[in-house]
Chains A and B, each alone.
Chain A
């Protein structure tokens, strides 16, 4: 059983299009995240959700809109895609928000290529 899964694994699209990436976790965790890993391999947090509520938005353009229909899912919708959005996007989850010691579980990533 995959703990954190993402679909699709690869996404190739043209500038200006709108696309979504889906994430699901079957660990029963309260908190979910989206990270972006750019071409230089830096991994940066984009959003944090706890119990379906947005906790952290790290100055991400409002073209990016996360949606959490329930605790197990956190989807990422991107409007008007730009070349700079090309990256690998990782979803992650952790048991409890704010607990001093916790580990995060990451999905396999979605490689987005904007042409």
Chain B
């Protein structure tokens, strides 16, 4: 049980920002929110993670709601190479990652 809820699919135009939502309403205080993505025919790739504060890195930004029951992965400018399945995962560190179905992002040129 992934314990997160994501839309099955989303579509974006190239060069535009993308906001990928995730609900984790039963998150515990020690759970981090991790995002991974899986490009076609490749292994999952780490994107970003956070606990309470918003986080930025070279790949994306992670906005975490104040009550921590939801989060949003933000790709600032989608490219064709960002087309992938994006997984939102809650994890407290002592257990392996539990992947759900994720959101399949399509990027239109």
From 1 to 57 in chain A, residues with beta carbon under 8 angstroms from any chain B beta carbon are 4, 33, 41-45, 48, 56
| Stretch from A60-68, A69-77, A97-105 at the B interface | A97-105
With contacts A44-B99, A109-B42 known, is A100 near B93, CB below 8 A?
yes
| Stretch from B10-18, B44-52, B74-82 at the A interface | B44-52
Whether A100 pairs with B44 at a CB distance below 8 angstroms is no
Q: Interface size (B, Cβ < 8 Å)?
A: 24
Can you list 21 contacts pairing A with B, beta carbon distance less than 8 Å? A43-B44, A45-B96, A48-B96, A58-B96, A90-B44, A98-B93, A98-B94, A99-B93, A100-B92, A100-B93, A101-B32, A101-B93, A103-B46, A103-B49, A104-B36, A105-B46, A106-B43, A107-B43, A108-B42, A109-B41, A109-B43
